[in-house]
């Protein structure tokens, strides 16, 4: 039991909020967002052009996309106004982009609901935080081409009656949950026949704790989050129905992950896309596998 509590605590530290497939964006103020010269220089053309610093916002709490750690191991980057460091797939991508553009990189840690408002206000140059390129978000911000192509997976315990499921139909009757304000919860769970859908969980760690505690039979998430969870919890099984007739039905906009910038900031958007255009889906996958291999919960 002590070991389980320790794992759950570590997971909460590494994963605490949000999700790549989050369905909506909040209009909440950008609490905790960067200030000073970055905010002062914000404009439709973006602050990056004026100070040669690429200011990137993320949660620093959503492994393997991004997380917080106490040192600079594996190439982690300092978090602005903090003694901690950020790392993960999003940081790796931000580092590559900044290097290719000859810019300095600054990581700003914000909660999920503050990310879009921070971009809108120009407080940060962009958000690299596992955001899906949804039509709803495109009303508020502009997006680059995808920097990751996610797939939907299901997690259950190895001894669960659903561990051998081969399709969404095989999950019929399962007690299920997922993260609040995500396509996993709003789009995927309702596709499970006769599912007992529990209230949404506030965070990815809470979702996984619910599964491990036996509160539910399954949770639905994306592949990177699923792989990270399996690395942390040895008794979990990842079910991937992708490429079969029994897969969840989701649109490209719901699973393609992009970098968001202030609307009208075509200068920065073009620069970011110029770097992404040199990378392939295989490059993205290789980078994600590296992030999963070094996330804190696997060490």
The answer to whether the Cα torsion of 181, 184, 188, 190 is positive or negative is negative
- 3-class DSSP state for residue 110? coil
Of the candidates 89, 21, 26, 13, the one whose C-alpha atom is nearest the C-alpha of residue 58 is: 89
**Torsion over CA: 117, 122, 123, 124 (sign):** positive
| Residue 159 pLDDT greater than 60, yes or no | yes
The domains of the chain, with CATH numbers, are 2-149+256-298 (3.40.190.10), 152-252 (3.40.190.10)
| 142 CB-near residues (< 8 Å, 6+ apart) | 260, 261, 262, 263, 264, 265, 266, 269
Look at 247 and 232; give whichever has higher pLDDT: 247
Residue 127: both structure tokens together: 């958000």
For 271, the enclosing helix (H) or strand (E) is helix 266-276
Taking only the tens place, the pLDDT of each residue in 200-238 is 998 787 899 999 999 999 999 999 989 989 988 889 999
Per the DSSP assignment, residues forming a β-bridge with 54 are: 105
- What's the pTM value of the predicted model, to 2 decimals? 0.77
Judged by phi (left if over 0) then psi (alpha if -120 to 50, else beta), residue 18 lies in left
How high is the pLDDT of residue 31?
A: 29
Q: What was the pLDDT predicted at 50?
A: 64
Partnered with residue 218 across adjacent β-strands are 156, 176
Give 198's DSSP letter: P
- Angstrom distance (rounded) from CA 68 to CA 87: 7
Where residue 252 falls among pLDDT bands split at 50, 70, 90?
A: confident
Q: Could you tell me what percent of the chain has a pLDDT over 90?
A: 67
Give the model's pLDDT for residue 57.
Answer: 98
Q: What is the mean pLDDT of the chain?
A: 85
Secondary structure of residue 104 in the 3-state scheme: strand
Q: What is the pLDDT of residues 71-111, one digit of tens each?
A: 999 999 999 999 999 999 999 999 999 999 999 999 999 98
Q: Between 204-213 and 223-232, two packed helices, what is the crossing angle to 10 degrees? A: 50
Using CA atoms, how far apart are residues 280 and 214, in angstroms rounded to an integer? 39
Our CA angle for 282, 288, 294, nearest 5°, is 140
Task: Give the per-residue pLDDT at 16.
Answer: 40
Whole-angstrom CA distances from 298 to 74, 92, 179, 236, 295 are: 14, 18, 22, 14, 6
User: Rounded CA gap, 242 and 154, in Å?
Assistant: 11
Structure tokens at 75: 């190439």
Distance from C-alpha of 240 to C-alpha of 222, rounded to nearest angstrom:
10
């Amino acid at each position: 039991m002590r070991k389980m509590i320790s794992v759950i605590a570590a997971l909460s530290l590494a994963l605490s909020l949000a999700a790549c497939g989050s369905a909506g964006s909040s209009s909440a103020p950008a609490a905790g967002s960067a200030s000073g010269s970055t905010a002062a220089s914000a404009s439709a053309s973006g602050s990056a052009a004026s100070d040669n610093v690429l200011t990137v916002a993320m949660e620093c709490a959503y492994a393997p996309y991004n997380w917080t750690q106490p040192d600079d191991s594996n190439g982690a980057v300092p978090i602005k106004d903090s003694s901690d460091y950020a790392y993960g797939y999003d940081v790796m991508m931000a580092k590559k982009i900044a290097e290719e553009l000859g810019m300095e990189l600054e990581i700003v840690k914000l909660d999920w609901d503050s990310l879009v408002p921070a971009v809108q206000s120009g407080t940060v140059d962009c958000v690299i935080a596992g955001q899906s390129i949804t039509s709803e978000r495109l009303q508020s911000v502009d997006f680059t081409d995808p920097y990751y192509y996610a797939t939907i997976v299901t997690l259950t315990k190895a001894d669960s009656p659903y561990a051998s499921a081969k399709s969404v139909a095989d999950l019929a009757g399962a007690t299920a949950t997922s993260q609040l304000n995500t396509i996993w919860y709003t789009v995927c769970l309702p596709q499970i026949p006769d599912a007992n859908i529990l209230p949404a969980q506030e965070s990815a760690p809470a979702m996984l704790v619910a599964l491990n505690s036996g509160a539910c039979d399954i949770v639905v998430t994306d592949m990177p989050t699923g792989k990270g969870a399996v690395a942390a919890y040895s008794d979990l099984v990842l079910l991937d129905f992708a490429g079969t007739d029994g897969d969840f039905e989701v649109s490209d906009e719901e699973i393609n992950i992009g970098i968001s910038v202030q609307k009208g900031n075509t200068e920065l958007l073009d620069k970011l896309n110029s770097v992404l255009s040199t990378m392939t889906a295989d490059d993205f996958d290789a980078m994600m596998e590296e992030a999963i291999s070094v996330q804190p919960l696997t060490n």
